[in-house]
Amino acid sequence: MTYKLIFTASNGTLGYELYTTDGSGLAAELVGDLFPGASNGLGSIETALLGETVFFLGNDGVAGFELFTTDGTADGTVRVADINFGPNSSAPYALTTVGDTVYFAAHDSINGYELWRSDGTEAGTVLVKDILPGANSSNLNSLTALNGNLIFSASDGINGTELWISDGSEFGTFMLKDINPGGGSGNVTTNKTAVLGDQLFFSANDGSSGQELWVTDGTADGTLLLKDINPGAGTSNPNNFFAHDGVMYFTAFTAGSGFELWRSDGTANGTQVLKDINPGAGSSSVNGFTSAGSKLFFTANDGSSGTELWVTNGSGGGTKRVLDILGGAGSSMSGGQGQIAALGDTGRVILAANNGTLGQELWISDGSTAGTRLLKDINPGLTGASISSLTSVGDLVYFAATDGSAGSELWVTDGTGAGTQQVADIAPGASGSFPLLMAVIDVNGAPEDLQLSATSVTENVAVGTLVGTLSASDPDGDALTFRLTDTAGGLFAISGNRLVTARAIDFEAAASHQITVEVRDPSGEITSRDFTITVGNLPDPTQGNDTLNGGPGNDRIAGLGGNDLIRGAAGADELIGGNGNDTLRGQAGNDILRGANGADLLDGATGNDRLLGGFGADTLRAGLGRDTLDGGGAGDILTGAGGADRFVFTGRFGRDTITDFRNGADVIDLSGRGLSFRTLDTRSVNDGLDTLIVLGQNRITLEGFEERDLRASMFDFI
C-alpha cells in the first residue's frame, strides 16, 4: 500500500497551509499557499475522504471559508464551490462520506446551516434540503453513514432535535423517528465509529427514560431504546462509541459506578458493564479507544494509579492496566485523543507517556507489561517532547513533537528507535510549525516487479506455444491484466498471463525479438517493460536424409524429402515426416506425429499423442498415454502399447492390423460409416486366435483377440 499524509502547518512566513508527505513517507512538502501571505488557508482539520480526494475547509482569500478538495498536489487542490457567494464564508462542518458522496452542513446567503452534498464538482455540490425553512439553521449534528444512507440529528422547528435520514434527495430526507414526541428534543448524539454491522448506536432522550442507549438500522421500526442503563428518569449518557471485533464499546453512567466501560452486541441482554475500573461511584474516565489486532487499547484511571494505558480482549478478566508508567497516583497519559495509535498490523501501539523522569516521550506497547517500554527519548531531560496527534499511516505512525532544538514539527516512527525521526523542519529554528494531522490518502500504487518466467523459444514451434508466464505484484493487492504494446510484428500474443507465439518463428529471419509488456490495475495505473525473446536454432530440413531434433518447447518440425529421423523432445510437438520413409519420435509431451508419404515409423512414447500415418504402409506405436492412432492409406500396423487408446479408421484405409487391442480400455472408431454392432461383419481367423473386421474392401485384423470377446462398447459408430 502507498499512503500520503495530509496535514496543515505554518512555516513562520505563511499561515496554516496544506502540506503532504512524499512517496517515501520520510519527507514533507508544501502543497500550496492557499491564502497567499501570512493568513491561514485552512479553517479546521476536519476532513472527509472520497477515494483519493480529501474534502476540507479552506480559504483562498477570495471566497471565504468554503469547501475545497485536494489529492495532495498543487494542481489537484481546488475550491469545489463558493456556496455563500462572495467573500463571506459558508463554513462547512461535519464532513461525512457515504458511498460516492460527501455530506456536510453549510449556510448560504438565503438559508441557515442546512444539509448539503457534493461529489467533488461544482455542479454536483447542492443543497439537499432546507430542513428548517428560512434563514434559521436546523442544527445538524452527528452525521454518520449507515447502510448507504446518511443518519444525522436535526431540528425542523416543530419536533426538536431528532433522528433524521437522507438518501441524498430532498424527498428522501426526512425525520426517521420523533424519539421525544412533540416539541421536545430527542437530543440525539453519536459518532462515526458507532456503527456495528447494520446498526448505529446513539444516545437519546425520549422524555421519560433520560439520555439512554438507542440503536437504529435506518428504519423507524428498527429505531428503539436498546437498554435503560440508568433505570427510570436517570441518565446514563452513553458516549465514546467504538466498534471493535464485533462488539460496541462505550462509556455510560450509573449512580453506583459512575462513568465506566460498557460493551454491547446490539441486544439488551448483551449490553452490560465490562468492568468497574474505578470501583464504587467514581468514574474511570475511559478515552482514546484504539484497535490493534484483536486488542483494544484505551486510557483509564482506576482511582489509585492515575490515567494509564489499559487493554481489553472483550472480557472483564481480560481488561487490565498494561503498566503503571508513572508509579503512584500520578497520570502518565493525558487521556485525550491522539495519544495512542496502532502500529500497522503488528498488534502493537505507539503512545505518548510521561514516566516522571523523562517528560512526555514516545513509548511502544504490545499490551503486556514486559512489552511496554520507552521507544525513544526525543527531547532528553525533564521537559519532554510534547507529543500530540499520533496518527496511523500504513506501517508507520506520524505525530507532532519537539526535540528541544527544533520546535513542534512532524515526526514519524516505524516502531524502532532508529526509525523514529523528524520528517521535516518546516519552521526552522525553535519556533516550530505545530503541525495538525488531517487525513490519510490511500494512494493507488502502480504495479511493480513485472517479470517473465522465460525469454526464449525454439524456431518452428506451433502457434500458441507457451514462451513464459507473466507476473507482477500490486501494492494495493489489486487484480492485474497484461497486454502487449509491441508484439514484434505480430509474432507474440498474451493469453491471460501467458506469453505465447502467434505466428511461425524462424531463426534465420531473426535470432531475437523485442516485445513490450504492459501491466495495468483496475484504476488504470500502468507499468511497462521491454523483454528480449531469443530464438533457438533448429537444423533446417533438406531433401536428403535429415536428423532433426526439437527443443524443450512446443516445436513444429517438418522433414521434407529423404528418410528422416525427427525427435520432438519435451513439449507438445508437431512432427511431419514429408516424403520418404521417416522415423518420428514424439518423446515427452502431447504430440502430433504426421507420417505423410512413405512407409513411416511413428513412435509417440509418453503423453497423449495423435499418430497419423498418412500414405504408405506405416507402423504406429503410441506408447504410454491416451493416444489416437489413424494409419491412413495402405496396410498399417497399429500398436497402442498401454493406456486407453482410440484406433480411427476413415475412408479407404486398406488392410490394417491392431497388435494389442484391449477389451475395456481401447476403442475402435468407425464413425460416419452408418454401421452398428449388429450389422458389423466380423470373422474368426487364424484358427480362432484373431478377429477380422470386414468393411467392404477394407480389413482390420485384431491380433490375439477372439471374435467371441467382441462387445458393442468397444466401438464408436456415431
Supply the DSSP symbol for 565: E
Give CATH 2.120.10.30 domain extents, the chain: 285-435
Residue 541 has pLDDT above 70, yes or no: no
| Residue 540, pLDDT score | 67
Return mean pLDDT, the chain: 94
Residue 496 has pLDDT above 90, yes or no: yes
**Mean pLDDT within 573-589:** 91
| Residue 335, pLDDT score | 75
Tally of residues, the chain: 718
Only one residue has cell 486510557, namely: 299
Distances (CA, A) of 636 to 403, 464, 652, 669, 713: 93, 32, 12, 16, 24
- Look up the CATH architecture of domain 448-536: Sandwich (2.60)
Instruction: Classify domain 285-435 by CATH number.
Output: 2.120.10.30
Residue 553 has pLDDT above 80, yes or no: no
Q: Return the C-alpha cell found at 232.
A: 427510570
Task: Look at residues 284, 210, 301 and name the one whose alpha carbon lies nearest to residue 250.
Answer: 284
How many Å apart are CA 296 and CA 319, to the nearest integer? 9
Percent of the chain with pLDDT over 70: 99
Q: Return the C-alpha cell found at 691.
A: 478377429
Residue 604 has pLDDT above 80, yes or no: yes
Helix (H) or strand (E) holding 619: strand 619-621
Give CATH 2.60.40.60 domain extents, the chain: 448-536
How many Å apart are CA 218 and CA 165, to the nearest integer? 7
Residue 391 has pLDDT above 90, yes or no: yes
Residue 539 has pLDDT above 80, yes or no: no
| Residue 1, pLDDT score | 61
pTM above 0.75, yes or no: no
Contacts of 25 (CB under 8 A, 6+ apart): 3, 5, 393, 394, 396, 412, 423
**Mean pLDDT within 146-165:** 96
| Residue 81, pLDDT score | 96
| Residue 237, pLDDT score | 97
**Mean pLDDT within 102-109:** 95
Residue 130 has pLDDT above 70, yes or no: yes
Q: What angle do CA 267, 271, 277 make, to 5 degrees?
A: 165
Q: What angle do CA 680, 685, 691 make, to 5 degrees?
A: 45
- For 453-470, the pLDDT digits (tens) are 999 998 888 789 899 999
Residue 571 has pLDDT above 90, yes or no: no
| Residue 537, pLDDT score | 84
Least confident of 256-260, 316-320, 633-637: 633-637
- For 515-537, the pLDDT digits (tens) are 999 999 998 999 999 999 999 88
- For 272-329, the pLDDT digits (tens) are 999 999 999 999 999 999 999 999 999 999 999 999 999 999 999 999 999 999 999 9
Confidence of residue 620 (pLDDT cuts 50, 70, 90): very high
- For 646-679, the pLDDT digits (tens) are 999 988 889 999 999 999 999 999 998 999 999 9
* Structural contact between residues 553 and 461, judged by C-beta atoms closer than 8 angstroms: yes
Task: Look at residues 438, 329, 430, 322 and name the one whose alpha carbon lies nearest to residue 386.
Answer: 430
Higher pLDDT, 194 or 537: 194
Q: Return the C-alpha cell found at 624.
A: 504410454
* Structural contact between residues 41 and 15, judged by C-beta atoms closer than 8 angstroms: yes
The single-letter code of the amino acid at 134 is G
Contacts of 713 (CB under 8 A, 6+ apart): none
Q: Return the C-alpha cell found at 212.
A: 439512554
